[in-house]
Structure 1
Amino acid sequence: MDRVTDMTRGKPMGLIFFFSLPLMFGGMFQQLYMIVDTIIVGRGVGISALASLGAADWINWLVLWGIHGFTHGFSIPVAQEFGAGNHTALRKTVAMIIKLSVLFGLIITVGSLLLVDPMLRLLGTEPAILGGARVYLYVQFSGTLVIIAYNMAAAILRCLGDSRTPLIAIALATGINIGLDLLFVLVFHWGIFGAAIATVIAQVFSFLACLVSLCRLSILRLTREDFQNDRQILKHLCRLGIPTALQNSSISLGGLVLQSVLNSCGVLYVAGFTATNKLYGVLENTAIAFGYAMTAYMGQNRGARQIDRIDAGMRSVLLLSVCFSAAISVFMVLFGRPILTLFVSSSEQDADAVLAIAHRYLMIMCAFLLILFLVHAFRSSLQGLGNTTIPMLSGLVEMFMRAGAALILPIFFGRGGIFFAEIAAWSGAAALMMLYYFLRIGSIKRAIATGSQL
């Protein structure tokens, strides 16, 4: 049975929340296997291995977020064509997305593998953790095509209103990843290589689960004719996908500057930040789920020209953001320290120092978590409405704010100043998008009503 959801009808609050719910659980499963990777490496191999994962983090995210940007941007017209009820154009769009994803996947694979060593050395990665970081990145980037395939399939399903299949896919991947982690790292003693290859193999199964669901959708029975090049659709997809990829990649570039400053603070700071960054995904998970919901909701309602539902959707997601960001922050204040102890073996000499760094960073992020929710709510809403330029600019703002704060704040406040680099990045991006949205929402609605480009 088709699991697509029409978001042009019904109460926005219920649609957004119940669409987001499977994505929240899916995100928690995804974070679970990332956390398990870190726990097994940190406790089973040691603090140096944990720091190696941290040294690879921002380089890895530079590629992963770029991939996510392409596939997320490509999928926006899927929501719009589905909302408009134009299934012929929908199938043609999906076929062009597949062709572009394969092309960009090959380019990204080659480019990322060539840049591993230069990037690690440029960031001043300490020799003690350089080898482990290099191995992790080589394995991850070798699986780029698999990662693009999963992200592409999941993004299309989400824009059609199916948030349950990605949940099933990621739950399957989580179980496989944890099992392979235990086997490869603790039994075969493959160390960081074992953790990395387990993640790639798990992604294969998550893609296959999404592919099976896509093949069952009656509105997506693709033919050879659908795969004939359509320059107009290809240009439109690139106009949406490339800015979104640049937005995500520019965010990561600011993170690379942060990583460089962090590397200069020593292995303990790198390890502490790595432990908290693995919980970052837990903090951000619900915000991302609401963002995906708003891309589908705004995209479908733009396609159907239901402009009266835009304000109602935005009010709903803002209320949900306030409630959930507060609940998550309270939970982390109460239980954050015990959770962080899972990442570091108490028998290691510097365990207490690493935990102190990690806990302080976590508490600062929790205090400002609502800002991160606002970033996702407004960014995804604008993308769903067809505007990827302002979200791209917000990515540049994040890059400069994160890099600037990482370079400047430690001069005045010592190494602790680096804890506020993320907060500065969130604040700059949120301010730009909120200002644009509220000043331009009237003209956005008029453009939708007349069918013109935003």
Structure 2
Amino acid sequence: MDEITHRRVLRIALPIVLSNATVPLLGAVDTGVVGQMGEAAPIGAVGVGAVVLAALYWIFGFLRMGTSGLVAQAHGAQDPAETGAILMRALMIGLMGGFAFMVLQVPLFHAAFLLAPASEEVERLTRAYLAIRIWGAPATIALYAVTGWLIAVERTRSVLVLQLWMNGLNIGLDFLFVLGFGWGVEGVAVATLIAEWTGLGLGLWLCRGAFAGGQWRDWARVFDRVRVARMMQVNGDIMVRSVVLQGAFTTFVFLGAGFGDVTLAANQVLLQFLEITAYGLDGFAFAAETLVGQAVGARRASHVRRAAVVTSQWGIGGALALGAGFWLAGPWLIDLMTTEPEVRLAARSFLPWIALAPVIGIASWMFDGIFIGATLSREMRNAMLVSVAIYGVALAVLPGAFGNHGLWAALMVLNVARGATMALRYPRAEQVAA
């Protein structure tokens, strides 16, 4: 296994950071082009449709993390046949999940509108948008597996190329179909559909090393009962962990609504800062996944520790930089996101929590990467369950005593608990590599 250096960490992490930066841009363009139609309903339809699909696809988000950890270990063990087999299993899961969504689209969309009712015009346009976008479900979910494989074998520049292709093509087709051809909401949907399927084609080409030598057609290996069971166990644990974490954030939003519309809006603005934090620090967590996974596969416990330390050093540096940036530029960013004076004032009053959030949360994000690389999915799941229980106690006490400040304090307690509970379990990461 190659030496773990700061240069190697940056070579893995920086393309992911740049890749993530293109994601908010696409959402802004989608909104902007339909906004040129001069009506509110199309903007709402694209927003609602995107949220519905994101919620559905997110169920399979475990494919990215599970694939990354398992492939990194096989790569570290110098077992190319298994790296190809893992990708094939993940692609099959992704394609079958996507086709299931296509078959079940009518009841799924009906349930979505029952949960989030919209005006008649917005619902009509959203249904037209979803009827087109759903045909991209197999490609989008399969791309989770492709991305996980590329990250695991340190091909993060390929991830950047893939994102630039998909988002660049999507943006270009947005302008052509919506502003050029006048297709409206359907034009945005068709643009995304084309980007998704061409993205999958490009992604499979970028993963062509997994298909070299025909190991991907070794069906006895691909469907090996022990290996399949291991993959399902890892993915199942990650899915439970992710559902619980999403529930914790959803609870935060719902409780914030109880403090009034202004506070709710202020919290929503500030949550965008947390999204920026995740995008900015993901690269270092992904580097931890890759390097820890390879070290475990190579049975090099000392390399596990080295990978954890070096990636975390960069993660901590990034967290401190983001915290300082939010503290200094936060008021300007708040004004950029909202023009409502009361919301601006409220958001400023809670800004110190956002400046602290990256620093407080970095341990939990880096341990996520370390545990994914070591495929300690059960320990990761259990740590999350304990952390959310602690968060529940904090929610029962702090908001009632300190209002919205108490709500933000409870969220910080969740991140501290996540970091602490995984830190206690960290020795297992080195033990599995022994």
TM range, smaller chain: 0.7 to 0.9
- Out of 413, 420, 425, the residue aligned to residue 431 of structure 1 is 420
Distance 1:102-1:258 versus aligned 2 partners, 3 A rule: same
User: What displacement does 1:367 show?
Assistant: 1.5
Distance 1:360-1:199 versus aligned 2 partners, 3 A rule: farther
CA contact (8 A) 1:254 1:398 kept: no
User: What displacement does 1:401 show?
Assistant: 5.6
> What is the match of residue 314 of structure 1?
308
Amino acid of the residue matched to residue 413 of structure 1? F
Task: Say whether residues 1:215 and 2:208 are aligned partners.
Answer: yes
Query: Equivalences for 1:380-395 in 2 at 5 Å?
Result: 380-395=369-384
Amino acid of the residue matched to residue 242 of structure 1? G
Hey, what's the Cα distance between the residues in 1 that align with 2:393 and 2:196?
Answer: 35
SS at match of 2:59: helix
Amino acid of the residue matched to residue 15 of structure 2? P
Amino acid of the residue matched to residue 364 of structure 1? W
User: What displacement does 1:216 show?
Assistant: 5.3
Equivalenced residue count is: 432
Amino acid of the residue matched to residue 422 of structure 2? M
If the length of structure 2 is used for normalisation, what is the TM-score? 0.82
Hey, what's the Cα distance between the residues in 1 that align with 2:207 and 2:306?
Answer: 30
Hey, what's the Cα distance between the residues in 2 that align with 1:220 and 1:39?
Answer: 46
Hey, what's the Cα distance between the residues in 1 that align with 2:122 and 2:413?
Answer: 29
Distance 1:108-1:359 versus aligned 2 partners, 3 A rule: farther
> What is the match of residue 3 of structure 1?
none
Hey, what's the Cα distance between the residues in 2 that align with 1:196 and 1:398?
Answer: 39
Amino acid of the residue matched to residue 445 of structure 1? E
Task: Say whether residues 1:333 and 2:318 are aligned partners.
Answer: no
Deviations 1:79-114 (A, max 9, x none): 111111122233223222222222333446667874
CA contact (8 A) 1:150 1:204 kept: no
User: What displacement does 1:194 show?
Assistant: 6.4
> What is the match of residue 91 of structure 1?
84
> What is the match of residue 5 of structure 1?
none
> What is the match of residue 175 of structure 1?
168
Query: Equivalences for 1:61-76 in 2 at 5 Å?
Result: 62-76=55-69
Hey, what's the Cα distance between the residues in 1 that align with 2:125 and 2:344?
Answer: 21
User: What displacement does 1:153 show?
Assistant: 0.6
Hey, what's the Cα distance between the residues in 2 that align with 1:421 and 1:58?
Answer: 26
User: What displacement does 1:252 show?
Assistant: 1.3
Q: Mark the runs of 5 or more structure 2 residues left unpaired by the alignment.
A: none
Hey, what's the Cα distance between the residues in 2 that align with 1:317 and 1:414?
Answer: 37
User: What displacement does 1:338 show?
Assistant: 3.2
Task: Say whether residues 1:22 and 2:21 are aligned partners.
Answer: no
Task: Say whether residues 1:370 and 2:364 are aligned partners.
Answer: no
Amino acid of the residue matched to residue 252 of structure 1? Q
Deviations 1:144-188 (A, max 9, x none): 322212111111111111110110111222323434555667778
Hey, what's the Cα distance between the residues in 2 that align with 1:363 and 1:137?
Answer: 39
CA contact (8 A) 1:159 1:295 kept: yes
CA contact (8 A) 1:298 1:384 kept: yes
Distance 1:95-1:424 versus aligned 2 partners, 3 A rule: same
Q: Percent identity?
A: 20
Q: Which has the higher contact order (CA 8 A, sep 6+)?
A: 1
Task: Say whether residues 1:239 and 2:249 are aligned partners.
Answer: no
Amino acid of the residue matched to residue 367 of structure 1? L
CA contact (8 A) 1:70 1:244 kept: no
User: What displacement does 1:287 show?
Assistant: 2.1
CA contact (8 A) 2:62 2:238 kept: yes
> What is the match of residue 261 of structure 1?
255
Amino acid of the residue matched to residue 304 of structure 2? I
Hey, what's the Cα distance between the residues in 1 that align with 2:100 and 2:368?
Answer: 27
User: What displacement does 1:293 show?
Assistant: 1.0
Task: Say whether residues 1:13 and 2:2 are aligned partners.
Answer: no
Hey, what's the Cα distance between the residues in 2 that align with 1:219 and 1:167?
Answer: 23
Task: Say whether residues 1:300 and 2:294 are aligned partners.
Answer: yes
Task: Say whether residues 1:396 and 2:385 are aligned partners.
Answer: yes
Deviations 1:19-74 (A, max 9, x none): 11111111112233235556777898799998998888987665444322133213
CA contact (8 A) 2:96 2:138 kept: no
- Out of 277, 283, 290, the residue aligned to residue 284 of structure 2 is 290
Hey, what's the Cα distance between the residues in 2 that align with 1:190 and 1:414?
Answer: 47
> What is the match of residue 26 of structure 2?
33
Hey, what's the Cα distance between the residues in 2 that align with 1:120 and 1:417?
Answer: 33
CA contact (8 A) 1:80 1:299 kept: yes
CA contact (8 A) 2:84 2:210 kept: no
Distance 1:423-1:113 versus aligned 2 partners, 3 A rule: farther
Hey, what's the Cα distance between the residues in 1 that align with 2:39 and 2:270?
Answer: 16
CA contact (8 A) 2:238 2:377 kept: yes
SS at match of 2:403: helix
Deviations 1:242-300 (A, max 9, x none): 11122112211223333433455565555544444444332112321111111111111
Of the structure 1 ranges 45-54 and 15-24, higher mean CA displacement relative to structure 2 is found in 45-54
Hey, what's the Cα distance between the residues in 1 that align with 2:181 and 2:396?
Answer: 41
If the length of structure 1 is used for normalisation, what is the TM-score? 0.79
> What is the match of residue 401 of structure 2?
412
CA contact (8 A) 2:162 2:202 kept: yes
> What is the match of residue 161 of structure 1?
154
Distance 1:357-1:409 versus aligned 2 partners, 3 A rule: same
Distance 1:45-1:147 versus aligned 2 partners, 3 A rule: farther
Of the structure 1 ranges 398-407 and 145-154, higher mean CA displacement relative to structure 2 is found in 398-407
Amino acid of the residue matched to residue 372 of structure 1? G
Hey, what's the Cα distance between the residues in 2 that align with 1:394 and 1:70?
Answer: 20
CA contact (8 A) 1:169 1:206 kept: yes
Of the structure 1 ranges 50-59 and 206-215, higher mean CA displacement relative to structure 2 is found in 50-59
Hey, what's the Cα distance between the residues in 2 that align with 1:132 and 1:405?
Answer: 42
